[in-house]
Structure 1
Amino acid sequence: MLRRYLLSLSLLAVLVLLYLQISTPLSLSQQLAQALAPSDDSLENLTFSLAVLPRLLMALLVGAAMGLSGSLLQQLTQNRLVSPMTIGVSSGAWVGLLCLSAVAPTLVTSHGEWAALCGAVLAVGVVLLIAGRDGIAGLPMVLAGMAMNLLLGAVAAAILLIDHQQSRGVSVWGAGDLGQIDWYFVSWLWPKLAVGALLIMFAPRPLALLQLGSRAAQARGLNLWPVLLGLFLSALWLSAVSITAVGLIGFIGLIAPNLARLLGARTPRDELLYSSLVGMLVLLGSDILALLLTNFLGDLVPTGATAALIGAPALLWLLRRKLAAKDLRSLSLMGTSTRGLAVRLRWTLPLMVCLTLLLSLCVNRSLDGWLLEWPSSLVWSLRWPRVLTAVAAGSGLAVAGLLLQRLLRNPLASPDILGITAGAALAVMLILLVAGNNLFWLKAPLAAFSGSMIVLGLLLVLGRRHDYAPGVMVLVGIALGALLNTGLQFCLVKASGDSLALLGWLAGSTYRVSAGQSVGLAVGVALLSVLSLSFQRALTLISMDEGTARSRGLEVRRVRLVLLVLAALLCALVTSLLGPVAFVGLLAPHMAALFGARRVVAQLWLAAVLGGLLMLIADWLGRTMIFPLQVPVGIVASVLCGLYFVYLLVRQRWL
C-alpha cells in the first residue's frame, strides 16, 4: 500500500511540474523565489502569484473533494456506477446556483454553497424516490439520475436564456472553469472542505459495518439512519461547495473511486484517502490538457470539457465490467391502460387536437394583455410555419422513439437518451465549421443523418456484448452523449460569430423557420412515418423476440438496419431544422401505450399525434409565458415532458 501511495505522489509531483512549465514562462528557480517571496515587479510574477498558483491549488482541492465524495457515495450505496454526476447531484447543485443567481445574484459568492446544497438534496431526493430502497445498489439509481440530469439540464438552459443579463459568462463556469484571478475562492473553499478530513477519520467504521448489511450494522451498535443521513449530506456538501467554486466538472467522482479499487484500495479508509489522491491526479491531468488545448486553439477550453473527454470512455469501460447480472434484466416503465380508457380516447383525442390548435393559433399575448382572436394575415403568415414545424418535429421524434424502443426492446430508448441527437448536432456544427454558412440548410440534414448513423453504429457495436440489454444501451448512450457534447463545446470554442448565432438552434427553436422549411419537414416526416408503417409486421416480431422473428422467415439483421436508418433519418430531419429536443421521443410512445395502443399501427399513429400535440403546446408556452421574450420550444418541451416522465417513474414506483 505504501508503494502505491509513493508512486501516486510521485506522479502528482510530475504533473505539478508539467503544469507549472506550461502555465508560466518563469523558470523553476524564479517560480520558487516568487512563491516564497511574492513580488509584483513584473507581469509574469503577478500572473504566477494570482493566477497560476491559485489555479493549481484549486485543481488539487476540487479533485480531492470530488474523489472523496464519489467514494463515499459509492460505499454508501454499494453501487460502483454512482457519482455526483450520475445521480443528479451536480445538475441539482447547478440549478440551485442558477436560481439564486436569478433571484439574488449578490448572494452567489457569499452563500451560493447553500443554494447548491439545497438543489443537490432535492435532486437526489427525487432520484431516491424513483429508485426505491431495492434499486439503490443497482441500475435503477443511475437511470433515475439520468432522467433528473436531462430534466435539470433543460431547466438550467431555460434559466440561462431567460435571465441572460445575469448569466453572461456563467456558461463557461457551468462548463467547469478552474481559472482564478486571485486567492479569494481558494481561501473560501478550503475551510469548507475540512469536513473531508473528518470523513477520512470517522467514516471508515460505519462504512465497514454497512458492508455487512443494515441489520448486522445495527446489531453491532450502529445508529443506522442518522449515520447514513450525515454521511450522505457530507458527500453532497463536498460536491456543492466544489461546484460553487468552479462550476460543473463531471466524471471525477465516478473515475477516482473505481481507479482506486482497481489499483488496490480495499478498506473503507484506504478507498476514501486514495480516491482523493486519484481525484487530484485526474483533475490536474484534465486541467493540463485544457491548458494545452487552449494554447493550441487560441480560445478558452474549459476543464470540465477535457474531464468529460477522459471520463466518458472510462464510463464505457466501467459499464462493460461492473454491471451485475441483475442490471441486464429487461426494464419496464409503465403498464397499459384498460380498454375503457382506450374507448374514451376516441372521443377525447379529436377534442384535444382541436383545442390545442385553437390555443396555438388564436390565443396570444400582446402589450395590452391576452388576446382571443383569429390571427390576421400577417400574423398567420408568421405563425403557421411555427405550428407546422412543431407538429411535424414532435411527430417525427415520437415515431423515431417508437422505432428504437421496438427494435432494441428497450422502453428507455429514444434519440436523446441514446445520444443520437447529440451526434446529429455535433455533425451539423462540424459541417458549419468546415463549409461555412454557404448552403448550410441544405447540407445540415445530410450531416445530421451521418452523425446519427455513426452513433447508432457505435451503440450496436458496444451493446453487442450484453445482447443489447436495456440498461447497457442507456448507459452507453449517456457516455456517448457526454463525449459528443464535449466535442460540441470544442466546436463552439472555435466557432465564428455566425456560428455562435446557432446557440438558439441548439436550444431547439421554431421562430426562425421559414414556410418552405416547415413544409419540407412535414412532408419528410409524413413520408418516413408512412414507410415505417409498412414494417409493422417486422416491428411486431422483433419487439417480441429475435428467435420468433427468424422462425417466421424475417431477415432480422437487414430489417433492423433499414428501420434504424429510418429512425436516423427522422432524427436528422428534426435536429437539422429544429435543433436537439429531449424527452419527446421517449415519452410519446409510452403515452400512446398508456392510452391503450398496444399494436404497432395504433401505437405509431397515436404516438405521432401525441408528440405533435406536446411540441405544439410547448411552442405556445414558449411564445407566451414570458412575453415579449420567447423561450425556444426545445427547452419548454424538455422541461414539460421531463417533469411528466419523472412523475411517471415515481408513480410506477409507489402506486
Structure 2
Amino acid sequence: MHDGFRPALVAVLALIGLGAVAMALNLSARLPVGLWLEALLAPSADDIRELLVHYSVAPRAVVALIAGAGLALAGAVLQQALRNPLASPSTLGVSAGAQLALSLATVAAPSALLAGREVVALLGGAASTAVVTALSWRSRFAPLTVILSGMVAAMFCGAAASALTLFNERMLTGLYVWGSGALNQQDWSVAGPLGVKVAVLAGLVALTVRPLQLLEMDEPARSLGLSVVRLRLVTIGLAVALTAVIVSAVGVIGFIGLAAPALARALGVRRLRDRLAWSAAIGAAILFATDALLQAAEALAHLNVPTGAATALIGAPTLVWLASRLRNPAPVETERPAGPRVRRVGLAICLLATAVPVALLASLAIGPAPGGGLSVAPWPELAELLPWRWPRTLGAGAAGAMLAAAGLMLQRLTRNPIASPEVLGVSSGAALGFVLALLFAPSPGLAVQTAAAAAGGFLVAGALLGLGRGGRLAPEQLLIAGVALGAMFSALLAILMASGDPRMLLVANWMAGSTYDVEPAVAVGTMACAIVQIAASFLVVRWLDLAPLGRPFMLSVGASPAVAGLGVLALCATLTAGATLAVGPLSFAGLIAPHLALRLGFARAGGQLAAAALIGALTMIAADWLGRVVYVPFQVPAGLIGMLIAGPLLMWLLQRR
C-alpha cells in the first residue's frame, strides 16, 4: 500500500459521506424516501418533484464530481510542471481569462460561440497563461512571482469582465450568474459531454506522468534528452484545456485546484501518479460535498449561495497556509526613485497642490457635448450642473487622496512596492464591515457605517500584521496572504449579495466604485476626513522612513516596531474606511499614486506622502471624469476605471522585478 493511501481514502470517504448526508436532506425536503430510487432511475412524467430530482439534482451532483476532479487534476499538473505548490487555475488567472473570453465573445462575436464555448474559453485561458509566463520569465518562474502575476492577471480580467457586464447588462446577466460558479442543471446535456472531455484529457495527462516526474530534476532530465521547456508547455496546455472545458460548462469555481492537491500532499501522498489520482478524487469529493451542503441550505433555509463563492472560503485559508510554508522566497528590493530626487520638495508639492483644484474645476466644467465630443459648459448651464457634479467629483478626489496615503504607508510598512489597501484586502474588509452594518444595524447612520468599515479594514490589516510579525513572512508571502484574505472577504460579500435583500442592489453599484450616488453631506464629510487623517499621518513619518530598513534597525534607534505597526495600521484602516464608503472597495489609487510620487523623485516619507495624496486625488478626479464622458449616455464607475488602469501598471511593475 502506497504512502498516504489510507488517510487519503478516509478523507475522500468522509467528504463523500458528508455530501451524501446533505444530499439526503435535500431530497427529503423534496419528496418521500420511498420515491428516491424511482425519481433517480425512471421518474414519473406526472410528478414534478421526481422530474426535478432526475433532471436537476442528480445531474448537478454528477457535474460537481466531474468538475471537481478536473479542476483538481489541472491544479496538480500545474503545480508539478511549474514546481510551485501555489499554482492552480485560479491563482494563475486561467479561469478568469476563460471567463473574460466568453464574455467578449458573447458581446462582440456571438458567432464565435458556434465553434464551441470550449474553444473560446481555451483561447482566453491560454492568453492569460501567456501573460503570466511573460511576467514571470525574468524571475525564472520563482513560485511567488508566478502567483503574483497570476493574481494580477485574474484581477484585470475580472475588472474587464465587470465592465462588459455593466455595459451589456441584459445580454450578460445570465453569464454573470454563471461566472459566480453556479452548478445548476436542467437536464443531462452537460454531464455526459463534460465527463467524456475530462476523461480524454485525463488520459492524455496520464501519458505525461513519467516525464513529469523528471521535471523535479532539471539537469538529469536534460541529460536524458528530455526537452524541459516543451514538456512544460505541453502539460500546462493540458491543464489549461481541462480548465477551459470546465469553465465553459459550469463557470468559475475557485480554489479547488489549489486545495485538493495541497490536501493530498498533507495526507502523505508522495508519488506523482498517486498524487494526481488522489488530487482528482479529493477535488471531486470537496466540490460534491460543498455543493450538496449548499443545496441542502437552499432547500431547508431558502439560502441561495453561489458555489464559487463557497469554494473561495475554503481555498483562501489554504493559500495563506501554503504561502507561509514556502522556504527562502526571493528577496524583494524596495523600489528606488527612477529619476533625480526632488531638490525643492516644497515647490513641487505646491505645484501638485495647485493642479488639484485646476483638475477639479476642469472636471466640473468639461463634459459631453449634445452632438458628440466634449464641450465647456457656459456659466448658466454649469450652475445647473454643479449640484450633480461637485459632490461626486469632490468625494472621488478625497477618497483618492486617502487611498494613496494608506497605500504609501502599507508599501513602506510591508516593504513591498505592490502593496495597497485594494491588493492586501483591506478595502474588501472595510466593504464587508459596511455591508454588515447596512444589513444588521437598525438605521445605521454615517458614523456607524464608518466605524463598521474601519473595524473591517483594521481586522484585515491586523491579521496581516500578526502573520508577518517577527519576520515570519517575507514581503511577497505577506502580499499573497493579503490577496487571499481579500478573496475570502470578497466571497463573503458575494454570499451576502446572493441573499436576495433589495438593499444589495444599491451595494452592487457601490462595490464597482460608482460615485453617482455620492451626496453633498458624504462628499464634505469625506473631504474633512481626508484632511484630518492625512494630517495625522505626518505624525508617523519617522516610522515610515525607518520601516523599510527592517525591524533590527528600528530597535537600534529606539523605535518600537510593534507600536509603529499598530499606529500605521490604525491610520490605514480608518483612511481606507473613509475612502471605501465614498467610492467602494475598487479603485487601486492606493497602488498607483505612491509609485508615481516615487517616479517623480519624492524619496523621503514626508514628501512622498504629500505627493502621493495629491496624485491620488488627481487620479480619482480624472477617473470620475472619464467615467462620465467615455461611454455617454452610460456612466462607468470610477473604481472600475481605476482597476483597468492599475492592471497594466501592476503587470509592468512585476515584469521589471
- Secondary structure at 1:511's aligned position in 2? coil
Offset, 1:363: 2.9
Partner of 1:545: 550
3-state secondary structure, aligned to 2:498: helix
What is the identity, as a one-letter code, of the residue corresponding to 1:273? A
**What is the distance in 2 between the residues matched to 1:13 and 1:559?**
48
- Matched residue, 2:279: 275
Distance 1:357 1:350 in 2: 11
**More displaced stretch, 221-230 vs 572-581:** 221-230
What SS class does the counterpart of residue 184 from structure 1 fall into? coil
Q: 1:467 aligns with which of 463, 468, 472?
A: 472
Partner residue in 2 for 1:288: 292
Q: Which moved more, 1:393-402 or 1:99-108?
A: 99-108
2:276 aligned partner, one-letter code: L
Secondary structure of 2:639's aligned partner: helix
* Aligned-partner Cα distance in 1 for 2:453–2:153: 26
1:152 aligned onto 2:157 = yes
Matched, 1:311 2:315: yes
Equivalent pair of 1:286/1:307 in contact (CA under 8 Å): yes
Q: 1:330 to 1:98 in 2, by over 3 A?
A: same
Q: What pairs up with 1:51-62 in 2 under 5 angstroms? A: 51-62=56-67
Partner of residue 257, structure 1: 261
Structure 2 matches for 1:209-224, cutoff 5 A? 209-213=214-218, 215-224=219-228
Find 2:404's aligned residue among 389, 398, 401.
398
Residues 389 and 521 in structure 1, CA contact (< 8 A), matched pair in contact too? yes
Residue identity opposite 2:280 in structure 1: S
Q: Does 2:465 match 1:430?
A: no
Q: In structure 1, what is the Cα distance between the partners aligned to 2:43 and 2:586?
A: 51
In structure 2, what is the equivalent of residue 364 of structure 1?
A: 367
Equivalent residue, structure 2, for 1:339: 340
Q: Which moved more, 1:349-358 or 1:10-19?
A: 349-358
Partner SS for 1:597:
coil
Amino acid at match of 1:146: M
Contact 2:400/2:618, CA 8 A, preserved across alignment: yes
Q: 1:30 to 1:592 in 2, by over 3 A?
A: same
- Alpha-carbon offset, residue 449 of structure 1: 0.7
Per-residue CA shift, 1:296-340, capped at 9, x if unaligned? 54132111122112222222222222x12134x3344x4412228
Match of 1:239 in 2: 243
Q: Deviations over 1:332-379 (max 9, x none)?
A: 4x4412228888995985896577446523332144112321452011
Q: SS where residue 262 of structure 2 aligns?
A: helix
Regions of 4+ moved over 6 Å:
340-345
Q: How does 1:424-463 map to 2 (within 5 A)?
A: 424-435=430-441, 438-463=443-468
Moved more, 256-265 or 159-168: 256-265
Q: Once the two structures are aligned, what percentage of the paired residues are identical?
A: 37
Give, in whole Å, the separation in 2 of the partners of 1:512 and 1:193: 47
Alignment of 1:169-180 (within 5 A): 169-180=174-185
1:369-415 deviation digits (Å, cap 9, x = unpaired): 12321452011222122221121111110000111122222222211
Distance in 2, matches of 1:76 and 1:467, equals 28
SS of corresponding position for 1:325: coil
Q: Compared with structure 1, are the counterparts of its residues 109 and 484 closer, same or farther at alpha carbon in structure 2 (3 Å cutoff)?
A: farther
Displacement of 1:66 after TM fit? 0.3
Seen in structure 2, the aligned counterparts of structure 1 residues 520 and 261 have a Cα distance that, compared at 3 Å, is same
Relative to structure 2, which stretch is displaced further, 132-141 or 562-571? 132-141
Cα distance per residue 1:107-162 (max 9 Å; x no partner): 54862222211221111211111111544242111111122222222112111111
Q: Report the AA paired with residue 136 of structure 1.
A: F
Task: Give the secondary structure class of the aligned counterpart of 2:373.
Answer: strand
Letter in 1 for 2:402: G
Are the aligned partners of 1:365 and 1:627 in contact in 2 as well (CA < 8 Å)?
yes
Q: How far apart, in 1, do the equivalents of 2:142 and 2:552 lie?
A: 32
SS of residue paired to 2:137: helix
- Alpha-carbon deviations, 1:620-648, whole Å to 9, x = none? 11111110000110111111122222123
Residue type at the aligned position of 2:490? N
Indicate how the Cα distance of structure 1 residues 112 and 390 shifts in structure 2: closer, same or farther if over 3 A, else same: same
SS at match of 2:368: strand
Normalization by structure 2: what TM-score?
0.92
Whole-Å separation in 1 of the counterparts to 2:509 and 2:553: 46
For residues 152 and 537 of structure 1, the distance between their equivalents in structure 2, rounded to whole angstroms, comes to: 38
Name the CA distance, whole Å, in 2 between partners of 1:108 and 1:441.
Answer: 47
* Structure 1 residue corresponding to 2:24, chosen from 11, 21, 24: 21
Question: What is the Cα deviation at residue 491 of structure 1?
Answer: 1.6
Query: Letter of the aligned partner of 2:238 in structure 1?
Result: S
Q: Is there any run of 5+ residues in structure 1 with no aligned partner, and where?
A: none
Q: Pick from 138, 148, 163: which aligns with 2:143?
A: 138
In structure 2, the residue matched to 1:330 is 332
Give 1:266 shift: 2.1
Partner residue, 2:617: 612
CA distance in 2, matches of 1:633, 1:171: 21
Provide the alpha-carbon RMSD of the alignment: 2.5
CA contact (8 A) 1:550 1:556 kept: yes
Structure 2 gap ranges (5+) = none
Matched, 1:377 2:399: no
Query: Retained in 1: the 8 A contact 2:26–2:300?
Result: no
Q: Distance in 1 between matches of 2:197 and 2:545?
A: 57
